[in-house]
């Protein structure tokens, strides 16, 4: 009977933990892949300030003039 209770405990407590870990692994791998593809393509022209300062439009108060 104790073996059955151990398996029941593993299913109740262990299975959600394992599922959560697999979900996190897939999520992190997906984010890494998205970062790699985003790094390869140039930013859209309206994201970088036209003066070439390198910051996003609206990020600096001098962009509001």
Confidence (pLDDT) at 11: 87
Closest Cα partner for 6 from 30, 14, 24, 51? 14
Confidence (pLDDT) at 19: 94
Confidence (pLDDT) at 40: 79
In whole angstroms, what is the distance from residue 20 CA to residue 35 CA?
Answer: 22
In whole angstroms, what is the distance from residue 57 CA to residue 49 CA?
Answer: 5
Query: Which residue(s) pair with 48 in the sheet?
Result: 56
- What is the per-residue pLDDT across 6-63, written as a single tens digit (0 to 9) for each? 889 888 998 899 999 999 999 999 999 988 887 777 766 565 555 555 566 666 666 5
Tell me the whole-structure pTM to 2 decimals: 0.52
pLDDT at 4 over 60: yes
């Amino acid at each position: 009977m104790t073996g059955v209770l151990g398996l029941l405990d593993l299913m109740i407590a262990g299975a959600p933990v394992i599922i959560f870990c697999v979900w996190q692994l897939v999520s992190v791998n997906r984010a890494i892949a998205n970062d790699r593809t985003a790094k390869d393509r140039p930013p859209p022209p309206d994201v970088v300030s036209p003066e070439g300062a390198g910051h996003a439009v609206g990020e600096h108060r001098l962009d509001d003039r």
